[in-house]
């Protein structure tokens, strides 16, 4: 099977592919994103615990 000139012009060259990310680069970026998400979740969890603790203290003060 031969390629038509239109099909041949659509083939990727090394220059076209050099701007694409490699698998290692994508893995590294994914790890960085997941690390950032984990830290945000931990901060939100700490905020939630603090909020619940403050509610408990205020309830005790109001009852006492």
What are the structure tokens assigned to 34, written together?
A: 């997941």
Domain layout of the chain by residue ranges:
35-64
Contacts of 29 (CB under 8 A, 6+ apart): 21
- Using alpha carbons only, give the angle 40, 33, 16 rounded to the nearest 5 degrees: 160
Q: Give the pLDDT confidence of 16-45 residue by residue, as tens digits.
A: 888 888 999 999 999 999 999 999 999 999
Distance separating alpha carbons of residues 34 and 23, to the nearest angstrom? 16
What are the angstrom distances between the C-alpha of 37 and each of 14, 18, 44?
35, 29, 11
Q: Give the pLDDT confidence of 38-52 residue by residue, as tens digits.
A: 999 999 999 999 999
pTM over 0.85: no
56 secondary structure, DSSP code? H
């Amino acid at each position: 099977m031969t390629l038509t000139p239109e099909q041949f012009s659509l083939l990727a060259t090394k220059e076209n592919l050099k701007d694409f990310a490699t698998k290692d680069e994508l893995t590294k970026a994914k790890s960085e994103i997941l690390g950032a998400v984990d830290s945000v979740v931990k901060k939100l969890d700490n905020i939630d615990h603090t909020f619940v603790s403050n509610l408990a203290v205020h309830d005790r003060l109001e009852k006492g």
